[in-house]
Amino acid sequence: MGYDTATKTDPESVVPEEWGGMWFLKDELETDHLGISILELEPGGKGKAHDETHTGQEEIYYVVSGSAEIELVDRDETVALETDDLIRLDPDEPRQIFNRGDERAKLVLVGAPR
């Protein structure tokens, strides 16, 4: 088949419902190299601190709605993103996503090897 379709909730969320939800869609879309995830964070929610050194993939975060703060752990720096903002991160950049806003944040996360 020349295409695949998926719905956000086809896979189980890897984030507890009270924090929002995170759905990894790589398997559902049968991609070989490109990873795509949907992350929704309630106010006060946060993602897992991590880097992608082990996978070698760079990531792009796109804020669909709400706002998010990306803490760059080694830099002691925080990048604030609003609706329609994006950030690209190198594989070895430690980061953590936070929703310190008043509304649910929804992000699309895309990653691929460099």
Output the average pLDDT for the chain. 95
The predicted-structure confidence for 31-74, as pLDDT tens digits, reads as follows 999 999 999 999 999 998 999 999 999 999 999 999 999 999 99
Q: What is the pLDDT of residues 68-93, one digit of tens each?
A: 999 999 999 999 999 999 999 999 99
Q: What percent of the chain has pLDDT over 70?
A: 99
Q: In whole angstroms, how far apart are CA 41 and each of 32, 48, 60, 62?
A: 27, 12, 17, 13
Closest CA to 69 of 39, 48, 97: 97
18 has a pLDDT exceeding 90: no
How far apart CA 47 and CA 28 sit, in angstroms, is: 22
User: What order do you get walking across the sheet with 67-72 strand by strand?
Assistant: 77-82, 67-72, 95-98
**pLDDT at residue 1, as a whole number:** 61
Q: What is the DSSP string of the chain?
A: -------TTSSPPSS-GGGEEEEE-HHHHT-SS-EEEEEEE-TT-B---B--TTTTEEEEEEEEESEEEEEEGGGTEEEEEETT-EEEE-TT--EEEE--SSS-EEEEEEEEE-
Is 96's pLDDT higher than 70?
Answer: yes
Cβ contacts of 17 within 8 Å, gap of 6 or more: none
Q: Which fold has domain 17-103?
A: Jelly Rolls (2.60.120)
